[in-house]
Structure 1
Amino acid sequence: MKHRLRLAALSALFITSLAQAAGSIDIDVHRDANCGCCKKWIEHLQANGFNVRDHVEADMSAVKQRLGVAPRLGSCHTAVIDGKFVEGHVPAEQVLALRKRDDLLGIAAPGMPMGSPGMEVDGMGAEAFQIIGLTRDGRDVLVADYPAR
Protein backbone atom coordinates (compact mmCIF):
# COMPACT_ATOMS: atom_id res chain seq x y z
CA MET A 1 0.00 0.00 0.00
CA LYS A 2 2.82 2.38 0.92
CA HIS A 3 4.50 1.61 -2.43
CA ARG A 4 1.27 2.41 -4.33
CA LEU A 5 0.90 5.76 -2.57
CA ARG A 6 4.51 6.63 -3.32
CA LEU A 7 4.03 5.64 -6.97
CA ALA A 8 0.82 7.72 -7.19
CA ALA A 9 2.60 10.73 -5.68
CA LEU A 10 5.50 10.40 -8.14
CA SER A 11 3.05 10.11 -11.05
CA ALA A 12 1.22 13.24 -9.94
CA LEU A 13 4.53 15.09 -9.59
CA PHE A 14 5.56 14.02 -13.11
CA ILE A 15 2.27 15.18 -14.63
CA THR A 16 2.48 18.50 -12.77
CA SER A 17 6.08 18.97 -13.94
CA LEU A 18 5.07 18.20 -17.51
CA ALA A 19 2.27 20.76 -17.37
CA GLN A 20 4.55 23.38 -15.85
CA ALA A 21 7.24 22.70 -18.45
CA ALA A 22 4.73 23.24 -21.22
CA GLY A 23 3.05 26.19 -19.46
CA SER A 24 3.98 28.96 -21.85
CA ILE A 25 4.51 26.92 -25.00
CA ASP A 26 2.42 27.89 -27.99
CA ILE A 27 1.39 25.29 -30.53
CA ASP A 28 -0.65 25.72 -33.71
CA VAL A 29 -3.08 22.90 -34.49
CA HIS A 30 -4.56 22.56 -37.97
CA ARG A 31 -7.69 20.39 -38.21
CA ASP A 32 -10.87 19.69 -40.10
CA ALA A 33 -13.98 21.33 -38.62
CA ASN A 34 -15.85 18.04 -38.27
CA CYS A 35 -13.22 15.96 -36.47
CA GLY A 36 -14.08 15.22 -32.84
CA CYS A 37 -10.87 13.36 -32.01
CA CYS A 38 -8.85 16.43 -33.07
CA LYS A 39 -10.71 18.47 -30.46
CA LYS A 40 -9.96 15.80 -27.86
CA TRP A 41 -6.24 15.92 -28.73
CA ILE A 42 -6.34 19.71 -28.31
CA GLU A 43 -7.88 19.16 -24.86
CA HIS A 44 -5.02 16.73 -24.07
CA LEU A 45 -2.47 19.41 -24.98
CA GLN A 46 -4.27 22.09 -22.97
CA ALA A 47 -4.50 19.76 -19.95
CA ASN A 48 -0.72 19.47 -20.19
CA GLY A 49 -0.20 23.24 -20.18
CA PHE A 50 0.06 24.06 -23.88
CA ASN A 51 -1.44 27.24 -25.31
CA VAL A 52 -3.22 25.92 -28.40
CA ARG A 53 -3.99 28.10 -31.39
CA ASP A 54 -6.73 26.19 -33.20
CA HIS A 55 -6.90 26.55 -37.00
CA VAL A 56 -9.88 25.04 -38.80
CA GLU A 57 -8.82 24.18 -42.34
CA ALA A 58 -10.77 23.47 -45.52
CA ASP A 59 -7.93 21.43 -47.12
CA MET A 60 -5.81 19.41 -44.69
CA SER A 61 -3.93 17.70 -47.55
CA ALA A 62 -2.56 21.08 -48.63
CA VAL A 63 -1.56 21.90 -45.04
CA LYS A 64 0.30 18.59 -44.66
CA GLN A 65 2.05 19.03 -48.00
CA ARG A 66 3.11 22.60 -47.11
CA LEU A 67 4.52 21.41 -43.76
CA GLY A 68 6.41 18.44 -45.25
CA VAL A 69 4.35 15.65 -43.68
CA ALA A 70 4.98 12.51 -45.74
CA PRO A 71 1.78 10.59 -46.61
CA ARG A 72 3.14 7.46 -44.86
CA LEU A 73 3.10 9.44 -41.58
CA GLY A 74 -0.39 10.85 -42.06
CA SER A 75 -3.18 11.16 -39.53
CA CYS A 76 -6.13 13.51 -39.08
CA HIS A 77 -4.60 16.72 -37.70
CA THR A 78 -1.26 18.47 -37.95
CA ALA A 79 0.34 20.78 -35.42
CA VAL A 80 3.36 23.05 -35.63
CA ILE A 81 5.70 23.83 -32.76
CA ASP A 82 9.01 25.66 -33.16
CA GLY A 83 8.71 25.23 -36.94
CA LYS A 84 8.42 21.43 -36.66
CA PHE A 85 5.35 19.35 -37.47
CA VAL A 86 3.49 17.10 -35.04
CA GLU A 87 1.22 14.75 -36.96
CA GLY A 88 -1.66 12.95 -35.31
CA HIS A 89 -2.29 11.76 -31.78
CA VAL A 90 1.19 12.32 -30.32
CA PRO A 91 1.37 12.37 -26.49
CA ALA A 92 2.26 15.76 -24.94
CA GLU A 93 5.49 14.36 -23.50
CA GLN A 94 6.73 13.59 -27.01
CA VAL A 95 5.74 17.05 -28.26
CA LEU A 96 7.92 18.52 -25.51
CA ALA A 97 10.79 16.16 -26.36
CA LEU A 98 10.61 17.21 -30.03
CA ARG A 99 11.64 20.72 -29.05
CA LYS A 100 15.07 19.33 -28.07
CA ARG A 101 15.55 17.31 -31.27
CA ASP A 102 17.38 19.48 -33.80
CA ASP A 103 17.84 16.43 -36.02
CA LEU A 104 14.10 16.09 -36.70
CA LEU A 105 11.74 17.99 -38.99
CA GLY A 106 8.81 16.58 -37.07
CA ILE A 107 7.17 13.58 -35.43
CA ALA A 108 4.07 11.53 -36.11
CA ALA A 109 1.74 8.95 -34.64
CA PRO A 110 0.70 7.52 -38.03
CA GLY A 111 -2.93 6.53 -38.47
CA MET A 112 -5.32 6.98 -35.60
CA PRO A 113 -4.20 4.47 -32.94
CA MET A 114 -6.96 3.54 -30.51
CA GLY A 115 -6.10 4.67 -26.99
CA SER A 116 -3.62 7.37 -28.02
CA PRO A 117 -4.38 10.90 -26.71
CA GLY A 118 -7.71 11.94 -28.18
CA MET A 119 -8.55 8.42 -29.36
CA GLU A 120 -9.58 7.01 -25.98
CA VAL A 121 -12.84 5.07 -25.90
CA ASP A 122 -14.43 3.98 -22.61
CA GLY A 123 -14.17 0.24 -22.10
CA MET A 124 -11.53 -0.26 -24.80
CA GLY A 125 -7.85 -0.75 -24.21
CA ALA A 126 -5.13 1.05 -26.10
CA GLU A 127 -3.46 -0.58 -29.07
CA ALA A 128 0.29 -0.43 -29.48
CA PHE A 129 1.57 2.55 -31.46
CA GLN A 130 4.82 4.27 -32.30
CA ILE A 131 6.02 7.83 -32.60
CA ILE A 132 8.08 8.20 -35.76
CA GLY A 133 10.47 11.06 -36.39
CA LEU A 134 11.38 12.42 -39.81
CA THR A 135 15.07 13.36 -40.05
CA ARG A 136 16.39 16.27 -42.05
CA ASP A 137 17.68 13.81 -44.67
CA GLY A 138 14.24 12.19 -45.07
CA ARG A 139 14.69 9.04 -42.97
CA ASP A 140 12.14 7.70 -40.50
CA VAL A 141 13.44 6.98 -36.99
CA LEU A 142 11.65 5.43 -34.04
CA VAL A 143 11.23 8.07 -31.34
CA ALA A 144 8.96 6.21 -28.88
CA ASP A 145 7.15 2.91 -28.65
CA TYR A 146 3.87 2.71 -26.72
CA PRO A 147 2.74 -0.84 -25.88
CA ALA A 148 -0.84 -2.03 -25.97
CA ARG A 149 -2.69 -1.62 -22.66
Structure 2
Amino acid sequence: MRLSLFFALLFAGLVQAAEPIAIDVHRDANCGCCKDWIKHLEDNGFTVNDHVEADMTAVKQRLGVPPRLASCHTGVINGQFVEGHVPAADILKLRQRPELLGAAVPGMPVGSPGMEMGDRKDAYQVIGLDKSGAETVISEYPGR
Protein backbone atom coordinates (compact mmCIF):
# COMPACT_ATOMS: atom_id res chain seq x y z
CA MET A 1 0.00 0.00 0.00
CA ARG A 2 2.79 2.44 0.86
CA LEU A 3 4.64 1.72 -2.36
CA SER A 4 1.56 2.44 -4.50
CA LEU A 5 1.01 5.71 -2.62
CA PHE A 6 4.66 6.62 -3.25
CA PHE A 7 4.29 6.02 -7.01
CA ALA A 8 0.99 7.90 -7.10
CA LEU A 9 2.59 10.94 -5.46
CA LEU A 10 5.65 10.67 -7.69
CA PHE A 11 3.50 10.49 -10.83
CA ALA A 12 1.28 13.38 -9.67
CA GLY A 13 4.39 15.53 -9.20
CA LEU A 14 5.68 14.77 -12.68
CA VAL A 15 2.45 15.38 -14.57
CA GLN A 16 1.45 19.01 -14.83
CA ALA A 17 -1.28 20.68 -16.83
CA ALA A 18 -0.01 22.38 -19.99
CA GLU A 19 0.11 26.14 -19.80
CA PRO A 20 -2.44 27.81 -22.08
CA ILE A 21 -0.89 29.76 -24.96
CA ALA A 22 -1.99 33.39 -25.12
CA ILE A 23 -2.72 35.05 -28.45
CA ASP A 24 -4.10 38.50 -29.23
CA VAL A 25 -6.71 38.56 -31.99
CA HIS A 26 -7.69 41.78 -33.74
CA ARG A 27 -10.97 41.69 -35.65
CA ASP A 28 -13.87 43.73 -36.96
CA ALA A 29 -16.98 43.72 -34.75
CA ASN A 30 -19.21 42.40 -37.55
CA CYS A 31 -17.11 39.39 -38.56
CA GLY A 32 -18.71 36.03 -37.80
CA CYS A 33 -15.90 33.86 -39.16
CA CYS A 34 -13.45 35.67 -36.89
CA LYS A 35 -15.45 34.51 -33.88
CA ASP A 36 -15.46 30.97 -35.28
CA TRP A 37 -11.66 31.05 -35.66
CA ILE A 38 -11.34 32.27 -32.07
CA LYS A 39 -13.45 29.30 -30.97
CA HIS A 40 -11.11 26.98 -32.95
CA LEU A 41 -8.15 28.45 -31.05
CA GLU A 42 -9.86 28.11 -27.68
CA ASP A 43 -10.86 24.53 -28.48
CA ASN A 44 -7.16 23.85 -29.11
CA GLY A 45 -5.87 25.23 -25.80
CA PHE A 46 -5.23 28.88 -26.64
CA THR A 47 -6.26 31.76 -24.42
CA VAL A 48 -7.55 34.49 -26.72
CA ASN A 49 -7.39 38.20 -25.95
CA ASP A 50 -10.09 39.51 -28.31
CA HIS A 51 -9.60 43.07 -29.63
CA VAL A 52 -12.43 44.62 -31.66
CA GLU A 53 -10.91 47.18 -34.03
CA ALA A 54 -12.35 50.06 -36.01
CA ASP A 55 -9.52 50.05 -38.60
CA MET A 56 -8.13 46.59 -39.45
CA THR A 57 -6.05 47.99 -42.32
CA ALA A 58 -4.06 50.07 -39.84
CA VAL A 59 -3.57 47.03 -37.59
CA LYS A 60 -2.25 44.96 -40.49
CA GLN A 61 0.10 47.75 -41.62
CA ARG A 62 1.43 48.20 -38.08
CA LEU A 63 2.14 44.44 -37.80
CA GLY A 64 3.78 44.18 -41.24
CA VAL A 65 1.13 42.06 -42.97
CA PRO A 66 1.51 42.57 -46.74
CA PRO A 67 -1.76 43.12 -48.64
CA ARG A 68 -1.16 39.97 -50.75
CA LEU A 69 -1.34 37.84 -47.55
CA ALA A 70 -4.31 39.65 -46.01
CA SER A 71 -7.48 38.09 -44.65
CA CYS A 72 -10.16 39.28 -42.26
CA HIS A 73 -8.53 39.01 -38.80
CA THR A 74 -5.01 39.25 -37.45
CA GLY A 75 -3.52 37.51 -34.45
CA VAL A 76 -0.29 38.25 -32.64
CA ILE A 77 1.71 35.70 -30.69
CA ASN A 78 5.25 36.24 -29.39
CA GLY A 79 5.56 39.30 -31.65
CA GLN A 80 4.67 37.33 -34.80
CA PHE A 81 1.52 37.96 -36.82
CA VAL A 82 -1.02 35.23 -37.56
CA GLU A 83 -3.11 36.41 -40.49
CA GLY A 84 -6.43 34.81 -41.37
CA HIS A 85 -7.64 31.27 -40.84
CA VAL A 86 -4.36 29.68 -39.75
CA PRO A 87 -4.91 26.29 -38.06
CA ALA A 88 -3.86 26.04 -34.40
CA ALA A 89 -1.24 23.39 -35.25
CA ASP A 90 0.46 25.82 -37.64
CA ILE A 91 0.52 28.54 -34.99
CA LEU A 92 2.47 26.10 -32.84
CA LYS A 93 4.85 25.55 -35.78
CA LEU A 94 5.25 29.33 -36.13
CA ARG A 95 6.39 29.56 -32.52
CA GLN A 96 9.35 27.35 -33.51
CA ARG A 97 10.29 29.67 -36.41
CA PRO A 98 11.68 32.90 -34.89
CA GLU A 99 13.12 33.95 -38.27
CA LEU A 100 9.56 34.51 -39.53
CA LEU A 101 7.64 37.74 -39.03
CA GLY A 102 4.45 35.72 -39.18
CA ALA A 103 2.23 33.26 -40.99
CA ALA A 104 -0.86 33.75 -43.12
CA VAL A 105 -3.70 31.98 -44.84
CA PRO A 106 -4.57 34.59 -47.49
CA GLY A 107 -8.21 35.15 -48.32
CA MET A 108 -10.88 33.07 -46.67
CA PRO A 109 -10.62 29.49 -47.97
CA VAL A 110 -13.70 27.37 -47.31
CA GLY A 111 -12.88 24.49 -44.98
CA SER A 112 -10.11 26.30 -43.09
CA PRO A 113 -10.68 26.78 -39.33
CA GLY A 114 -13.55 29.20 -38.86
CA MET A 115 -14.68 28.81 -42.48
CA GLU A 116 -16.27 25.38 -42.26
CA MET A 117 -19.28 25.14 -44.60
CA GLY A 118 -20.51 21.61 -45.02
CA ASP A 119 -18.35 19.10 -46.89
CA ARG A 120 -16.62 21.60 -49.17
CA LYS A 121 -12.90 22.20 -48.56
CA ASP A 122 -10.77 24.47 -50.70
CA ALA A 123 -7.07 23.75 -51.04
CA TYR A 124 -4.94 26.33 -49.23
CA GLN A 125 -1.46 27.00 -47.91
CA VAL A 126 -0.12 28.47 -44.71
CA ILE A 127 2.56 30.91 -45.82
CA GLY A 128 5.39 32.18 -43.63
CA LEU A 129 6.99 35.58 -44.24
CA ASP A 130 10.58 36.30 -43.24
CA LYS A 131 12.20 39.65 -42.48
CA SER A 132 13.46 40.07 -46.04
CA GLY A 133 9.93 39.65 -47.42
CA ALA A 134 10.53 36.13 -48.73
CA GLU A 135 7.64 33.70 -48.43
CA THR A 136 7.84 30.03 -47.52
CA VAL A 137 5.10 27.40 -47.35
CA ILE A 138 4.69 26.15 -43.79
CA SER A 139 1.83 23.73 -44.52
CA GLU A 140 -0.44 22.72 -47.39
CA TYR A 141 -4.02 21.55 -47.05
CA PRO A 142 -5.66 19.72 -49.98
CA GLY A 143 -9.14 20.49 -51.16
CA ARG A 144 -11.93 18.02 -51.77
- AA in 2 matched with 1:147: P
Task: Specify the code of the residue in structure 1 equivalent to 2:67.
Answer: P
**What TM-score comes out, normalization by structure 2 length?**
0.86
- CA distance, structure 1, for counterparts of residue 67 and residue 124 of structure 2: 17
- Equivalent residue for 1:144, pick from 124, 139, 143: 139
The structure with more radius of gyration: 2
Deviations 1:11-38 (CA, angstroms, capped at 9, x unpaired): xxxxxxxxx9974210000000000000
Matched, 1:110 2:77: no
Asked if residue 26 in structure 1 is aligned to residue 22 in structure 2, the reply is yes
Report deviation, 1:118.
0.2
Mapped contact 1:89–1:118 kept (Cα < 8 A): yes
Q: Structure 1 CA distance, aligned partners of 2:98 and 2:51?
A: 25
Q: Which residue does the alignment assign to 2:91?
A: 95
Give the residue type in structure 2 aligned to 1:130. Answer: Q
| Counterpart code for 1:129 | Y
Q: Percent identity?
A: 66
State the secondary structure of the residue aligned to 1:29.
strand
| Aligned position for 2:47 | 51
Does residue 84 (structure 1) correspond to residue 80 (structure 2)? The answer is yes
Matched, 1:131 2:126: yes
Give distance in 2, aligned partners of 1:48 and 1:21. Answer: 14
Runs of 5+ consecutive residues of structure 1 not aligned to the other structure: 1-19
Cα RMSD (Å): 1.5
**Closer/same/farther in 2, CA of residues 21 and 32 from structure 1, 3 Å limit:** farther
Pick closer, same or farther for the CA change 1:109–1:22 going to 2, 3 Å. farther
AA aligned to 1:146 is: Y
* Per-residue CA distance 1:47-100 (angstroms, 9 max, x = gap): 000000000000000000000000000000000000000000000000011001
**TM-score, normalised to structure 1's length?**
0.83
Partner of 1:11: none
